[in-house]
Chain A
Amino acid sequence: MAIVTFDKKELEKLIGIKLDDKYYKEVFPMIGAPLEDINESSVSFEIFPNRPDMLSIEGFSRAVRNFIGIGKPRRYISTPYKISVYVDKSIKEVRPYIVCAVIKDVTIDEKMLLNIMQFQEKIHETFGRKRKKIAIGIHDYDMIKPPFYYKAVKPDEIKFIPLGTDKEMNLTDILKNHPKGISYKHLLDGFEKYPILIDSNENVISFPPIINGELTRVNEKTNNLFIDMTGTNLDALKSALNILVTSMMDRGFMIESVRIIYDDGNEIVTPDLSERSIKVDLNYVNKMLGIKIDNEKFIQFIKRMGFNFDNSVLIPPYRTDIMHPIDIVEDVAIAYGYENFIPELPNIFTIGRSLDKKEFENVISNIMTGMMFQEVRTMILTSKDDQTEKMNVKADLVETLNPKSDDYSVCRIDLIPGILNVFSQNKHVDYPQKIFEIGKVVFLDSSTETGANEKVLTCAAISPGNYSDISSVINELLKSLKIKFNIIPCEDKRFIDGRVGKILINGNEIGIIGEIHPSVLNKWKVEKPVALFELNVDKLFTLKLNQ
């Protein structure tokens, strides 16, 4: 989730009108920019992943101006290229693509610099997948001499002063010691050569996707900017470049194209600011939204969302999210105003039907609550220790790869640990405590699509309680379900020997009943005796169905 923070004065200056707090709270969310925070001087919005163009203050203001009707969709044209970037074949395996642009005659103040840096950072984080897909470099153009060269070099082959330091370092040193090197070195894992962008004097412009050279640091005296974006997906790079240069053009700056020449002779010119077109059938719009608007209204709506229209919808170069006519339909809906749709239930006749098994589970719950048992719900995810060591058992468990804590690293295979945890957490609460749970447990099963399977169990427990107490309960529960059962003694290390039995129905084992062994109670720090039973609800249900 990307949150951007803008200076209120700056934003209102770019939009062109003064806005009150209510406007921020009520109107912006309806454009698709929920307000996150607002104070005297600044305002923060959440920007959805499909609208990276709104990560820049200029792009954001443009969207607002169009939406409220004080701006009109414009066209963007860059001037022809004068300089070139040569792409060496050595880069192909490492970070194959680069797109560039030159921004002429800029006037930069501190606020604008902060905005550019925020934009760069947010693009890196979201659209750029933490620099993997897109890394952006912004440079003082007048410090470097074209043409430029994008290639891969051995880490110790080249030295330069990275941004934010005053010392020459080679690429290995940067990855080891520079903060940005440490943060992003994993992106170059496994490569023998690293990407580098240099100028005609062999000065390092950038070491993508890690860090720029100190040489091209941008400051308030900078007159011309050179932009490089490198990455793994050319379309994404072109889009990101378009978003940045159109923002700059909205500020009134001129963009000069750059020619990118590959070693196989292919060349492209960036940025590509042409408009894609997409055909959208008005009937489709009306049918999907459940409204009736005419063509004139349609055009008016899409213009408010920043599109031009010429027989088909023209997509501005900064809109990277339009894949299908349905995307235009959504923009029409936003322009129409979500608040203006009158919610309406359709007249579709279908018959409601619950799952029999869920109803069966409810019957069990009703019987249990009737016997004054309080239902509890414990976690599916738990620790291996809870499921095995603390229960005196061994088991193969369904296990997660990347838990943030061992406390939820495996799926429970049994309800009893969760129940004991409840007793352990509730020692301050009035006794007796009678609790039950109905819930899913997960186990390995190579016969399924995923290799795991699930079943529903129920466990009821009394503390302090003994075998006699809990056997009354199982008797009443199964009698109420019209199920005949018997209990045979068994051995189970979780329970006291001689006070534990398997519950059988027609010879099928469906559960266990007994008094929990003090060694288990000790491990759970439970201080009063616990008697409980656990039943396989799935089996019970199947047996019931066949009765």
Chain B
Amino acid sequence: MYIITDEGKKYLYEGLPEQKLANIVKMKPLNIRDLRKKIKNISIALAWAKRKNLVKIDKGIVKFEKDDSQVELKYLKKIENGEKIPENMIEILLKRNLIKKKKEDIFSRAEKYKGKVIDNLNEDIIKTGIWKDVSFRKYNVNLLGKKIYAGKRHIISSYIEKSRKIFLEMGFKEVDGSMIESSFWNFDALFQPQDHPARELADTFYMKNPREAILPEEFVEKVKNVHEHGGYGSTGWNYKWSNKIAKKVIMRTHTTSVSVRNLPKLNPPEKIFCIGKVFRNETIDYKHLPEFIQIEGIVASENVTFKNLLGYLKEFYKRMGFKKIRFRPAYFPYTEMSVEPEVFLKEHNEWIELGGAGIFRPEVTMPLGVHVPVLAWGLGLERFVMLKTGLNDIRNFYYKNDLNVLREMPSWL
């Protein structure tokens, strides 16, 4: 749609400037200087008059040739009346700035939807109320749109957060510790004899750099004694304990090292937990990685019992969504009683072991100055994430980080 510009309106009233010029020189040829006084926009008038051959210029004198048909005015009239005109004419009028595109208002824009079947609902249709006069094309509501990906936490992080929440809700204090550890805190302080198979190169990462740790002077003698001769009611292991072996730096094999470092600082009753990476010298396959997450917890109090240990474990696994759980005797050099919690999985029709737990031996707690029972556990994480998610290759988690897999993981566990 087009409307007439102010200039167009003026010409419609006065006639086109080139005809005005023709009329003047028709009476008497005039030079350009004189004409300028008579016609305001002489350059436009002269340009069009020359183009249409209405006048002739001879040595600065403008002479009449013929009248103009003023066809433009005819079409301007038509536009004024809202009639259609040919495209080439529109072009000419636009060029001469006699008409311009009419800015459509929202109502006229919306007008075209009236009575139609609508694909996309838009602002015009909503605002104008035209929606009352349209119908909407029915969609196949079962057809999904383009695939999009949410930003998600890694599935392991989600389960770590869930575990943290459970222990925080049960009144546990969170602690953290170092992944690089001395053999002393990882093994010796836990009453693991220095020739224990778990300490061998085949199971434990020893460090080339750094190689030797500084031992905590206040505890070295006490730990050495309990290994060599016992005490606190124990016979001890009865061998020659070596300072040098205890100094060897390793990648921690369990987060129990963090618990043990916290024992001397305890002020019972206390509950502490720690979730972190632990390392075993394994060959990588679908079931094994040299590093994995452990969920560690201890409860130290005068009156805690074996029953309470089972209570905490049961509560944790219940909140993790395992309904059927049993406790099986186990062995760890630093706990007595030792227990392995197992959950029953219908899909597998078997009991799956998920971690280790126990009450720290007096040979562990006493040399570090703790005289109350300490319940302790170190639970695996990856294995039950695998069971829960159906993933059967542990390499997906850290090694490959297969984005196809991670993007499809649930956020509600």
Using CB atoms and an 8 Å cutoff, list the residues of chain A in contact with chain B.
29-32, 34, 48-51, 126, 129, 132-133, 233, 235, 287-291, 323-327, 329-330, 333-334, 338-339, 341-346, 348-355, 357-358, 362, 365, 368-381, 396-405, 407-408, 411, 422, 425-426, 428-430, 433-435, 440, 442, 444, 446, 448-454
Q: Does B338 contact A (CB under 8 A)?
A: yes
User: Cβ of B239: which chain A residues have Cβ within 8 Å of it?
Assistant: 233
Report the bound CA distance from A344 to B336 in whole Å.
18
Cross-chain contact B251 with A400 (CB below 8 angstroms): yes
Shortest Cβ gap from B10 to chain A (Å)? 52
Pick 7 A–B contacts, CB within 8 A, sort by A.
Answer: A333-B329, A349-B171, A369-B152, A399-B207, A400-B207, A400-B208, A408-B284
Choice from B150, B171, B209 contacting A352 with Cβ under 8 Å: B171
Q: Does B172 contact A (CB under 8 A)?
A: yes
Report the bound CA distance from A379 to B236 in whole Å.
38
Choice from A330, A369, A449, A454 contacting B338 with Cβ under 8 Å: A330
User: Cβ of B152: which chain A residues have Cβ within 8 Å of it?
Assistant: 369, 374-375
Q: Does B64 contact A (CB under 8 A)?
A: no
Closest to A436 in B: B151
Report the bound CA distance from A343 to B197 in whole Å.
32
User: Cβ of B336: which chain A residues have Cβ within 8 Å of it?
Assistant: 324, 326-327, 329-330
Cross-chain contact A399 with B282 (CB below 8 angstroms): no
Shortest Cβ gap from A119 to chain B (Å)? 18
Cross-chain contact B234 with A430 (CB below 8 angstroms): no
User: Cβ of A374: which chain B residues have Cβ within 8 Å of it?
Assistant: 149, 151-152, 154, 403, 406-407
Q: Does B79 contact A (CB under 8 A)?
A: no
Q: Does B222 contact A (CB under 8 A)?
A: no
Cross-chain contact B330 with A48 (CB below 8 angstroms): yes
User: Cβ of B237: which chain A residues have Cβ within 8 Å of it?
Assistant: 323
The 10 closest A-B pairs by CB, nearest first: A451-B210, A290-B305, A48-B331, A290-B307, A369-B151, A343-B310, A32-B329, A452-B180, A324-B234, A372-B151
Choice from A291, A345, A373, A433 contacting B312 with Cβ under 8 Å: A345
Cross-chain contact A338 with B235 (CB below 8 angstroms): no
Cross-chain contact A444 with B174 (CB below 8 angstroms): no
Known: A31-B329, A326-B361. A350 touches B154 (CB 8 A): no
- The stretch from B94-102, B106-114, B118-126, B392-400 touching chain A is B392-400
Q: Does B6 contact A (CB under 8 A)?
A: no
Shortest Cβ gap from A103 to chain B (Å)? 28
Cross-chain contact B147 with A450 (CB below 8 angstroms): no
Choice from B179, B230, B362 contacting A326 with Cβ under 8 Å: B362
Total interface residues on B, CB under 8 Å, equals 103
Cross-chain contact B234 with A378 (CB below 8 angstroms): no
Shortest Cβ gap from A353 to chain B (Å)? 5
Task: Please encode chain B, from 271 to 307, with 1 for each CB lying within 8 Å of some chain A CB and 0 for all others.
Answer: 1000001010111100001110000000101011111
Report the bound CA distance from A428 to B402 in whole Å.
10
Cross-chain contact B209 with A398 (CB below 8 angstroms): yes
Q: Does B11 contact A (CB under 8 A)?
A: no
Report the bound CA distance from A330 to B301 in whole Å.
19
Report the bound CA distance from A287 to B306 in whole Å.
9
Cross-chain contact B210 with A444 (CB below 8 angstroms): yes
Give 16 A-B pairs besides A327-B336, A451-B213 with Cβ atoms closer than 8 angstroms: A30-B329, A32-B329, A291-B307, A341-B306, A344-B307, A345-B312, A348-B269, A348-B271, A348-B299, A350-B271, A380-B291, A398-B209, A399-B207, A426-B404, A430-B149, A435-B403
Known: A235-B238, A376-B401. A32 touches B174 (CB 8 A): no
In this complex, which of A34, A235, A330, A396 has the most chain B Cβ atoms within 10 angstroms of its Cβ?
Answer: A330
User: Cβ of A327: which chain B residues have Cβ within 8 Å of it?
Assistant: 336
Contacting A at CB under 8 A, from B222-261, are: 230, 232-239, 249, 251
Known: A348-B301, A452-B210. A375 touches B153 (CB 8 A): yes
Report the bound CA distance from A352 to B167 in whole Å.
8
User: Cβ of B398: which chain A residues have Cβ within 8 Å of it?
Assistant: 377-379
Closest to A325 in B: B233
Cross-chain contact B207 with A50 (CB below 8 angstroms): no
Report the bound CA distance from A411 to B179 in whole Å.
10
Cross-chain contact A288 with B208 (CB below 8 angstroms): no
User: Cβ of A378: which chain B residues have Cβ within 8 Å of it?
Assistant: 398-399, 401
Choice from A32, A444, A449 contacting B209 with Cβ under 8 Å: A444
Cross-chain contact B279 with A353 (CB below 8 angstroms): no
Report the bound CA distance from A345 to B312 in whole Å.
6
User: Cβ of B71: which chain A residues have Cβ within 8 Å of it?
Assistant: none
Choice from A326, A352, A380, A402 contacting B281 with Cβ under 8 Å: A402
Q: Does B181 contact A (CB under 8 A)?
A: yes
Q: Does B221 contact A (CB under 8 A)?
A: no
Closest to A279 in B: B233
Cross-chain contact B311 with A345 (CB below 8 angstroms): yes
Report the bound CA distance from A435 to B154 in whole Å.
10
Closest to A347 in B: B303
Shortest Cβ gap from B256 to chain A (Å)? 17
Choice from A34, A323, A362 contacting B230 with Cβ under 8 Å: A323
Report the bound CA distance from A428 to B403 in whole Å.
9
Shortest Cβ gap from B201 to chain A (Å)? 5
Cross-chain contact B327 with A339 (CB below 8 angstroms): yes
Known: A345-B315, A399-B207. A422 touches B331 (CB 8 A): no
Cross-chain contact B402 with A425 (CB below 8 angstroms): yes
Shortest Cβ gap from A457 to chain B (Å)? 14
- The stretch from B19-27, B42-50, B156-164 touching chain A is B156-164
User: Cβ of B312: which chain A residues have Cβ within 8 Å of it?
Assistant: 345
Choice from B168, B195, B307 contacting A341 with Cβ under 8 Å: B307
Q: Does B56 contact A (CB under 8 A)?
A: no
Known: A30-B329, A380-B291, A401-B207. A354 touches B178 (CB 8 A): no
Cross-chain contact A400 with B306 (CB below 8 angstroms): no
User: Cβ of A358: which chain B residues have Cβ within 8 Å of it?
Assistant: 164, 174, 176
Shortest Cβ gap from A257 to chain B (Å)? 23
Q: Does B8 contact A (CB under 8 A)?
A: no
User: Cβ of B361: which chain A residues have Cβ within 8 Å of it?
Assistant: 324, 326
Cross-chain contact A350 with B151 (CB below 8 angstroms): no
User: Cβ of A448: which chain B residues have Cβ within 8 Å of it?
Assistant: 178
Shortest Cβ gap from A339 to chain B (Å)? 6
Cross-chain contact B305 with A452 (CB below 8 angstroms): no
Q: Does B67 contact A (CB under 8 A)?
A: no
Cross-chain contact B359 with A288 (CB below 8 angstroms): yes
Cross-chain contact A289 with B305 (CB below 8 angstroms): yes
Q: Does B373 contact A (CB under 8 A)?
A: yes
Q: Does B391 contact A (CB under 8 A)?
A: no
In this complex, which of A126, A370, A446, A452 has the most chain B Cβ atoms within 10 angstroms of its Cβ?
Answer: A452
Closest to A439 in B: B277
Report the bound CA distance from A450 to B251 in whole Å.
11
Contacting A at CB under 8 A, from B355-398, are: 359, 361-363, 373, 397-398
Q: Does B131 contact A (CB under 8 A)?
A: no
Cross-chain contact B339 with A338 (CB below 8 angstroms): yes
Cross-chain contact A425 with B400 (CB below 8 angstroms): yes
Q: Does B212 contact A (CB under 8 A)?
A: yes
